[in-house]
Amino acid sequence: MINSKLKQALAALTVSAALVAAPVYASTDAAAAEALAKRVEEGKKLAFGRAEGNCLACHMMPGGTSPGNIGPALIAMKLRYPERQDLFDKLWGVKAKEVPYSMMPFFGRNGILSDDDINKIVDYLYTL
Ligand code: HEC
């Protein structure tokens, strides 16, 4: 009898603990999702902008108008680059991973874009 009362009380405590915890997680997730959405939007602007990434000059990207076809279409990026670092290095222009005679600019190595801008573009590319 006492045992079952104790169990009931414990169950009630567990439920209320879960209720208290839930909104905290929810707000943290929402804030993180909002921050990521903002970075994705900025990354898209940098990628599409003729003065910054200008990726569209050479790559087809969903939603981009008048794309060039010098480079491969940028689609299914998470599948092709499961390691985020590999995609970052490709955009940065890491010498050891360089594709010989590629027309792809070395955005980081040549100081065209900051590391943060490249990371924003990677955030955006991962939505494609
Ligand atoms: C002047 C043309 C040009 C511009 C501008 C350019 N690229 Fe490229 N890109 C290429 C070419 C050519 C290749 C294929 C050879 C290679 O991998 O370097 C390539 C390859 C890539 C790859 C590898 C694709 C794969 O299938 O493995 C990625 C990712 C990429 N580019 C992303 C970008 C992004 C993002 C931008 C803009 C910030 C950009 N490129 C701007 C020409 C360009």
Task: For residues 46 and 88, give the distance between their C-alpha atoms in angstroms, rounded to a whole number.
Answer: 15
Query: What sign for the dihedral angle of Cα 111, 105, 81, 42?
Result: positive
Residue 74 CA, ligand 1 centroid: distance in Å: 8
Residue 104 CA, ligand 1 centroid: distance in Å: 5
Q: From atom 25 of ligand 1, which residue's Cα is the shortest distance away?
A: 72
pLDDT at position 80: 94
Percent of the chain with pLDDT over 70: 79
The more confident residue out of 85 and 1 is 85
Residue 10 CA, ligand 1 centroid: distance in Å: 58
The yes-or-no verdict on residue 109 having pLDDT over 80 is yes
Structure tokens at 124: 């955006």
Q: From atom 35 of ligand 1, which residue's Cα is the shortest distance away?
A: 55
pLDDT digits (tens, 9 = 90+) for 7-59: 665 555 555 444 455 555 566 888 999 999 999 999 999 999 999 999 999 99
Residue 58 CA, ligand 1 centroid: distance in Å: 7
pLDDT at position 14: 54
